[in-house]
Structure 1
Amino acid sequence: MWGIPPDLLGHFPKAVLVVLQEEAEIVFLGCGLRSGPNGEMESEFNRQYILDNFHRLSEFAEFRGIDLKKAKERIKQILVLDRSSLSTAQEVAFAGKAFEDAGIEKVVSVTCPTHAPRSLNEALKFFSRPESKIAIHNISVQVSDIGWAPNSDVMVFEPPHMPKDLIAGALRQKIAKMLLDPVELQKIKKALDLL
């Protein structure tokens, strides 16, 4: 989710970069599942993680010359949290409605490479509705430089998105916590480099 400085932006740094480049008016953090380490909503956990680690963006070459204090304040002002969606389709519908209500004309979904096809598919379905206020040619996806498995060309594991799968959900929490820890991420990177 974070990436490997200085060049490989994970999901969150890539999202911040796109927000700044596009001068976004809304930043939507999806999924209301309770999957944070302390039982908080995923969107709440992600918001806090991004804000707590914002200073670390300076580790990435893409952020050189960017006033991170100013950028952080901007991000804080435009964050919208989803606290109820249980699927990608529901996330897109929730975000899409917020975007349409705000008069947004361009939507950029930032996600990991393995999730990009589903993200784009759901966005195109939602914004193809006759009543949609956003044209589908204004929908795009930006992918992070790495997925859930650093240094891997293939990613087969897709975390569960339905709360009924409690065992898989618990596994997802443990994996997410491990991947969010920079020390653990470096250990994984070193181990993969040995292969």
Structure 2
Amino acid sequence: GHTGRSKRATGILVHGCHLHTDGWERIVFGDPATQELGRVAQAALLMMEENPVCVVFGSGGSEKDGMMEGKFTRDYFFENFQKLARFDVFAGADLERLERLMRERSVAETVSKNTVEELELAGEILRKHNVERLILVSSPTHLPRCLRDACVVYGTVRSEKCPWGARVLVSPSGTSYEGASAGDVAVIEPPHRGDRDPALDKPLLSGVINRLYAIPPKKRRGLVLQLEKQLETIEGVGRGWG
């Protein structure tokens, strides 16, 4: 049965959102009109439910008003903290106490430039707090990749370097990138089904997609448009087969 809150020291990593992203405030704080929690509001909920010893706000990937992303996000959160009362999940909560805990236990990470670095530098902070269990917080349109990167950076077993390696959990916020939802995220697994034709395993589609992202945006768009036309041709032929 359910045994309640974990007794293992828990840490939370709130993945950063580029400060010039469309709809940044909604993504990060949330939308009281729809009751969708943003990333920092989700972290506040987890503070109540999981009692983490450390909350890390990433990252150093962007800058605004002379502040790096992690610090700007943390400061923005506390400037708007009492607005959490607009969300039903915080009804009856002692927001003053909750804010005090969040201030005492949170830190801004302002150096990393990408998700992998964000996980690595957050890991250095988590180790200082003897964390054995980690919860990743981000948007549904970002979190799948965060988990992928976490499995690469931390591994999937407990180790001296990453005591939380076998206990990495995810907690999606309610808000996604503007105009997008979780259904817009593509997850490409390596070939593995027993009923496949192994001769078609290579080249790996995931590898091709990763190479696409290494191409400058303008050139990449041209390739994507070419691919789209080819797909339309193939799909048209496929319909003819029916």
TM-score range, shorter chain: 0.7 to 0.9
Does residue 1:13 correspond to 2:41, yes or no? yes
Distance 1:98 1:35 in 2: 21
Identity score, percent: 28
| Conservation of the 8 A alpha-carbon contact between 2:41 and 2:84 | yes
SS in 2 for 1:141: strand
Are positions 1:146 and 2:157 aligned together? no
Match of 1:99 in 2: 126
Q: 1:150 to 1:57 in 2, by over 3 A?
A: farther
Please say if 1:71 is aligned against 2:98. yes
AA at the equivalent of 1:31: S
Cα offset for 1:155?
A: 4.9
Unaligned runs of 5+ in 2: 1-26, 186-215, 217-242
Greater relative CO, 1 or 2 (CA 8 Å, sep 6+): 1
Amino acid at match of 1:45: F
- Residue identity opposite 1:133 in structure 2: C
Q: Return the offset for 1:78.
A: 1.0
1:141 is aligned with what amino acid?
Answer: V
CA separation of 1:43 and 1:153: change in aligned 2, threshold 3 A: closer
Structure 1: stretches of 5+ with no match in the other structure: 157-164, 166-195
More helix by share: 1
How many pairs align?
Answer: 156
Kept after mapping to 1: 8 A contact 2:138/2:173: yes
Deviates more, 1:65-74 or 1:128-137: 128-137
Residue in 2 aligned with 1:33?
61
How does 1:1-195 map onto structure 2 within 5 Å? 1=27, 2-5=29-32, 7-36=35-64, 38-128=65-155, 131-149=160-178, 152=181, 155=184
Q: Distance in 2 between matches of 1:42 and 1:141?
A: 21
Counterpart residue identity of residue 165, structure 2: I
Q: Which runs of 4+ in 1 moved over 6 A?
A: none
Going from structure 1 to structure 2, the CA distance change for 1:51 and 1:150 (only over 3 Å counts) comes to farther
TM-score of the superposed pair, with normalisation by structure 2: 0.59
State the 1:16 CA deviation. 1.1
Q: Describe the SS at the equivalent of 1:117.
A: helix
SS in 2 for 1:136: coil
Normalising by structure 1, what TM-score? 0.73
The residue type equivalent to 1:146 in the other structure is T
RMSD of aligned alpha carbons: 2.1
Which amino acid is the alignment partner of residue 143 of structure 1? P
